[in-house]
Amino acid sequence: MSKKPFNPNDFQPKRFGLRYNPPQIVLEYTVPSNNKMYHHKIKLPKLKVDSNLQEIIKEVYEKHSTYLDPNHIPQTQVLSM
């Protein structure tokens, strides 16, 4: 079974979760066209106690730009977690 391509126009972010071990951000979103909910997991292997969070968030937004459009999900929202 092939996976349907992700359509950023058919995407509604709902909420974020933070997993501590291993460190991950989990984005919960719905796809209105099929009325289903999904989770997109963003691994944070470089996250340490003394990490520069601004740099990590910038990298996360670059790698996961399909899901993290700064026009819909501001970086400050992710940083506040």
User: Which amino acid, one-letter code, is at 28?
Assistant: E
Q: What are phi and psi of 48, to 5 degrees?
A: -130, 170
Output the pLDDT for position 48: 87
Output the pLDDT for position 38: 93
| Alpha-carbon span 78 to 35, nearest angstrom | 25
pTM for the model: 0.77
Q: What is the pLDDT along the chain (81 residues), one digit of tens a residue?
A: 445 566 777 888 899 898 988 999 999 999 999 999 999 999 998 888 898 988 999 999 999 988 888 888 888 888 877
Domain map (residue ranges) of the chain: 12-79
Output the pLDDT for position 27: 92
Residue 76: how many other CB atoms lie within 10 Å: 9
Output the pLDDT for position 4: 59
